[in-house]
Structure 1
Amino acid sequence: MKYYLGAYAASPNHSGWNAELEVAFYDELKALPNVKGLEHPFLGSLHPYDDSWLLANIDPAWDYVFTCIPGIMNALGQNPRFGIASLDEEGRLAALDFMQQACTAIHKLNAHLGRSAVKAIQIQTAPARHKAASSKAALQASLQTLMSWDWQGAHLVIEHCDAYVDSHLPSKGFLALADELEVLTQLNIHLPAAQRLGMVINWGRSVIETRRVEGALEHIKAAQAAGVLSGVMFSGVSDQNSEYGAWCDSHQPPRLSEQVLHGEPGSWMTEQVIWQCLAAAGHAEQLPILGAKIGIRPMSASIEQRIDYVRNTLAIFDRYFAATP
């Protein structure tokens, strides 16, 4: 089995751009045998610093899943009404313009590789509901527009982020899972199977929302029951105020254990709960999107240390599939 890796979260370039350092990091990534490709961050252009650098240094065999959350969070910092689910029409159209830039970047990457290498694009249902109004109707209208564009085969999926709830301040605070699932199922009624929209569950963001480990499992089961589960990305979280922060979407590695030698002691994302989620997904090996995104602390960690964390995390998946008939 091979998996997608949100490698940008583990990059040694955490506060600037050093091309030489990133080359060394990518060379190590390309040597990992169980990496299918990258969950690639989209901020408005193909690469946040240098498109040419990216095209010259990626593995031509890798596949890609774009994630729009880095660019969306940047945009929300400037305009809290930004988002494809926004009731503010100006904010909704700004989000569609951003998505058009993502579509252009996908074309550029595919053209360079000479194939449809971008398999999916993860869309998030901004804005934050405690700062601006959003709705299912606005989301549906935006998705209908996006479906009319040429994505060169990339699957359109909503990545569920922690929804706004009354009990605590959110990290993202976007639409509720039930609302997202309702819109997806309504739109999918009229679509052939190959064009149906999907849902990706991010483990950490579901736990941030629910404040329970079981929350991620419940979200996976809900998306599965709705017939739209397209993937699971594993990214940890904790209630402890470590270098990662309490209840922060900082992509904690799995919990340290006898088998996970490079992990985070306070992480709620244990090997056991990862296995439970993979089992709940049902034929997890067939999911179009399956992988991990982990951040590394301390920030001064070497490339070798960063790769050790990545290798240990992906080994959890390998052990699951080796043990599953």
Structure 2
Amino acid sequence: MDDDVARPLPLLGAYALEPADPAEARALYEGVAALGVGGLELPLPAEPLTDAGVWDVDPAWDLLVTCIPTVMGRLAHDAAYGLASADDDGRDRAVADVARAASFARRLADRAGRARVVGIEVHSAPGPREGSTDALTRSLDELVAVDLAGARLLVEHCDERVGDRPAAKGFLPLADELDAVARAAGVGVAVNWGRSAIEGRSTATPVEHVRAARAAGVLGAVVLSGATDAPTAWGDAWGDAHIPPRGDDPALAASAASLLGVDEVRDTLAAAGPATLVAVKVSVRPRDASVEARLAVARASLGLVAAAREVRERATREGAQPLADEVAR
């Protein structure tokens, strides 16, 4: 049975929790090492690449490299940038950035004697106004020929532009991304819970996206990052600010308005299947929170995911649908 497949330990997007002070940041990652995660989701390192970094706190960690901070930084000054760009120069610049991620993966694999980067998250910027599915397909075709040192390219779906409504990212629709991925051997799709919820203004949209990617045979990862339909300390409603889940743990009190809770985690994991890579990405407020407070949010968020998974798996074994309030007991 599908549910008999061992689930990998979740990764943590700890960079979203990282304090500005380097010493505190190091202390954060040392604390993360005690949380029982399978590894990190981390942003593509800046140039020049160095041999030392937070990825070395635990050499056993697997790594999921996300290009989204680089993508958004480039787009702020270069509207033609992106793997889906209709502008050849802009597309080439984006391909070069992903090639840099591949170089990072090879460098770590050479040092470790094994593949450490399990996935590289890429994106369908700049979106439908300046880009196309065909351009994204060309970029993916070029990148699958690159030595990725065991990593899998994953097109992380971000909210598509819906009418005249302001978008958090405004990239290509999932259907277009699935079309491009279907034409590029070995490439997968990652679904970010928060960004899908932002797109659909609904907690149902992430599950729909997960099911669509899985049905296409290309679901590679699920990133559990929250969203909210109300103003909070994280900003305006429907902002992409990685609000943590809501839950009973005191560390999650500030994120009580999050739309991501145990029901949503359970339903998303059920749709994804047991073998899908899962990452948890949360941030904290206030921004000057202590390292201990940051670790408490990470611990509570990971604990909620683990509890939701356990309840669902127990119910599956017993042939019953679990109740959300079981997680709190």
TM (normalized to structure 1)?
0.89
CA contact (8 A) 1:220 1:229 kept: yes
Write the distance in 2 (CA, Å) between the matches of 1:44 and 1:259. 35
Write the distance in 2 (CA, Å) between the matches of 1:56 and 1:216. 29
Partner of 1:249: 240
Partner of 2:156: 159
TM (normalized to structure 2)?
0.88
- Cα distance, 1:73 vs. partner? 0.5
Partner of 1:101: 100
Partner of 2:145: 148
> Which consecutive unaligned segments of at least 5 residues does structure 2 have?
1-7, 318-329
Give yes or no for the alignment of 1:4 onto 2:11. Answer: yes
Write the distance in 2 (CA, Å) between the matches of 1:153 and 1:66. 13
Give yes or no for the alignment of 1:201 onto 2:191. Answer: yes
- Cα distance, 1:105 vs. partner? 1.7
- Cα distance, 1:200 vs. partner? 0.7
Task: Give the counterpart of 2:292 among 304, 307, 318.
Answer: 304
Write the distance in 2 (CA, Å) between the matches of 1:197 and 1:204. 22
- Cα distance, 1:258 vs. partner? 2.7
Partner of 1:192: none
> Which consecutive unaligned segments of at least 5 residues does structure 1 have?
189-195
Q: In structure 2, give the amino acid aligned to 1:304.
A: E
* Secondary structure at 1:262 match in 2: helix
Q: In structure 2, give the amino acid aligned to 1:298.
A: P
Identity of aligned residues (%): 36
Change (3 A) 1:321 1:207: closer
Partner of 1:240: 230
CA contact (8 A) 1:44 1:102 kept: no
CA RMSD of aligned residues (A): 1.7
Write the distance in 1 (CA, Å) between the matches of 2:45 and 2:169. 17
In the TM superposition, structure 1's runs of 4+ consecutive aligned residues that sit over 3 Å from their partners are: 43-47
Partner of 1:272: 263
* Secondary structure at 2:183 match in 1: helix
1:127-150 CA deviation, whole Å, 9 max, x = no partner?
044xx4111110111100001110
Task: Give the counterpart of 2:278 among 282, 290, 305.
Answer: 290
- Cα distance, 1:43 vs. partner? 5.0
Comparing 58-67 with 102-111, which one deviates more in the overlay? 102-111
* Secondary structure at 1:230 match in 2: strand
Aligned residues: 304
Write the distance in 1 (CA, Å) between the matches of 2:182 and 2:258. 34
Partner of 1:114: 113
- Cα distance, 1:182 vs. partner? 1.2
